[in-house]
Amino acid sequence: MKAKERKRAHITINAEECKGCCACVEFCPEKQIGVSKKLNTRGYFPAAVNGVRQRCTGCAVCQVVCPEMAIVVVRDG
């Protein structure tokens, strides 16, 4: 799926399950994910979706690389 085809999709990251490894940050092709400045209750800075306008294509690479299975991908199309 090319980035330009931009099907509508979004992800949710469970901040409590995230251990801040940043794999999703590293591998998201659209660079949609960053690191939250707020600690979760386990002491990690969890990943969080960047920006107001999501450019998520639903490629689910973030889900493939997430060790904690903290990301749910929703393909709206």
Q: Rule CB under 8 A: which residues touch another protein?
A: 17, 19-23, 25-27, 44, 60-61, 63-76
CA–CA separation, 66 vs 60, rounded Å? 10
Q: Tell the smallest beta-carbon distance from residue 55 to another protein (Å).
A: 18
Q: Which is nearer to another protein, 22 or 48 (CB)?
A: 22
Q: Tell the smallest beta-carbon distance from residue 27 to another protein (Å).
A: 6
Q: What are the residues whose beta carbons fall under 8 Å from the beta carbon of 52, sequence distance 6 or more?
A: none
Q: Tell the smallest beta-carbon distance from residue 18 to another protein (Å).
A: 9
Q: Which is nearer to another protein, 51 or 75 (CB)?
A: 75
Q: Is 36 within 8 Å of 49 (Cβ atoms)?
A: no
CA–CA separation, 28 vs 31, rounded Å? 5
